[in-house]
Amino acid sequence: MILSSVPEAPIRSDQAAHAPGGRVLVVDDHEEARESIAEILRHSDHEVHCSPSAAEALRRLDDESYDVVLTDLNMPGMSGIELIRHLEKREHGAQIVMVTAYASVATAVEAMRRGAFDYIEKPFTAAKIEQLVARAIERGRMLDQRYACDRTTTATAGEANSKATESSGPAMIGESPVMAALRERIAQIAPTLETVLISGESGTGKELVARAVHAQSERAESPLVSLNCPVLSAQLMESELFGHERGAFTGADAPRTGRFELADGGTILLDEITEIELPLQAKLLRVLQERSFERVGTSRSISVDVRVLATTNRDLQDEVGEGRFREDLYFRLAVVPLVVPPLRQRCEDIPLLVAHFKDHAAARLQRDPVVFDSSAEQLLQDYRWPGNVRELQNIVTRASVLVGRDKVSAEDLRPWLIDAEGSTEVAAAEVPAGLSLHEMERKLILATLDHFDGHRAKTAEALGIGIRTLSGKLKTYGYAPRTKDFSKAA
């Protein structure tokens, strides 16, 4: 499932050939910190521009569009919060990330209320800023934060989009029976205050469903604070959830406000909750039961009024049976279950989704929508879509960029599909009889990693495992993650 979205401000002709990652604007009055962030993000294949002041950033945003605006909080003239206030009043299409060494409940909550995606405290590592920007770019491309359909997309996608805009909150593309049932269930669940467990395969749009639930709830005007569980270690996870006091652990140079505290009065989304380890699951259970918690490094209880939404791409009952997930926490989370169908169960929605993604890509590239010939259309219908809607969006966008005005054929698309016709026979031929399960797993993981050009998030999604699980296995194979320290430069 995908939300119908308003395309970002049209990209001018000099912007069409941007880096494969995303377009990022770094706003910071300190040149060294500004250029250090830019260097790290460019190394991750992002196209990065810099502005030494918020005023210059606003002038640049008059003429250019960005996927992410990464701004410092304390700057002379106009602060980061003031910049966010200005951006709140205009259509800019960017996800906003605030960088600060002076985090507080007030600044963090105000930034998120005014549309900021997240904030990050100095000092931080290169890996952390890379992960945060990558998540911001992905969300910005898939979510419509302004909850309105683009007129061009509506004209092409037809009645499906016009009907989708009738309900409050994010619109959903698709007229299949399973999509109609999902919309009906969301409408039933959203007005309540109950905890919701959203399950489904990777790439189906679980986070978008969560946002639709929040948007149609009585808390729609309050913050929706999300936490992407797979990217954090156990220690960082606890700090992100509940916050910490200064000196609570090595590296805790300043107090940190946790996501539960930031979401007070609103909703918290725990994305891929199975990645939370067992000891922390017990603490999370207490929060769900008592609506209170303690920051790391203190015994003072903090009470919150938070609605909890959680997503998972695994069968939690199986996880409970294997001892990897607490049964009591499962029952607390699964008060109201929502299941997001995989794309292969709603193939009749594929033409609508393709039309939407083609028009969205065309608006960004300032060219006519790409044309798929009958062989390409048939391949899209027959393909199993292990990556679901996210994979379909990537394929259509890639075809729009690389094929241009020529018709797209099945032969153009097939090399980009990870299990297109014929690939299974090749894979089977490469696995000799008698190979151990451990060695076969190693070959599969490394082959998938190679297929995605070393992109770990995509590899983990394709394999149906968490990023931390993948990273752990790669370490056993002799792969070591890059650990460039960014604390001094920031």
pLDDT for res 115: 73
pLDDT for res 106: 63
The pTM of the full predicted model, rounded to 2 decimals, is: 0.61
**What's the rounded Cα separation, in Å, for the pair 420 and 319?**
30
pLDDT for res 10: 32
Contact between 329 and 312 under an 8 Å Cβ cutoff? The reply is no
Identical fold for domains 13-142 and 177-343, yes or no, is: yes
Domain 424-476, what fold? Arc Repressor Mutant, subunit A (1.10.10)
**Structure token pair of residue 456:** 């770990």
Contact between 481 and 127 under an 8 Å Cβ cutoff? The reply is yes
Nearest of 307, 285, 305 to residue 195 by alpha carbon? 307
**What's the rounded Cα separation, in Å, for the pair 418 and 274?**
26
Domain 177-343, what fold? Rossmann fold (3.40.50)
Domain locations along the chain: 13-142, 177-343, 349-423, 424-476
pLDDT for res 170: 52
**Please, what are the averages of pLDDT over each run of 10 residues along the chain (490 residues)?**
35 35 90 91 89 91 87 88 83 82 64 77 84 82 42 35 40 86 94 94 91 92 86 78 84 80 92 91 92 90 94 91 93 93 94 90 84 93 90 90 81 79 39 64 80 77 75 74 40
Q: Which CATH code for domain 349-423?
A: 1.10.8.60
Contact between 32 and 489 under an 8 Å Cβ cutoff? The reply is yes
pLDDT for res 209: 94
pLDDT for res 113: 67
**End-to-end alpha carbon distance in the chain:** 38
**What's the rounded Cα separation, in Å, for the pair 410 and 374?**
8
pLDDT for res 354: 94
The gap from C-alpha 408 to its chain's centroid, in whole angstroms, comes to: 28
Give start and end residues of each alpha helix (H) in 316-452.
Answer: 316-321, 327-333, 350-365, 374-382, 388-402, 410-413, 423-429, 437-451
pLDDT for res 89: 74
Q: Which CATH code for domain 13-142?
A: 3.40.50.2300
**Structure token pair of residue 247:** 């000196």
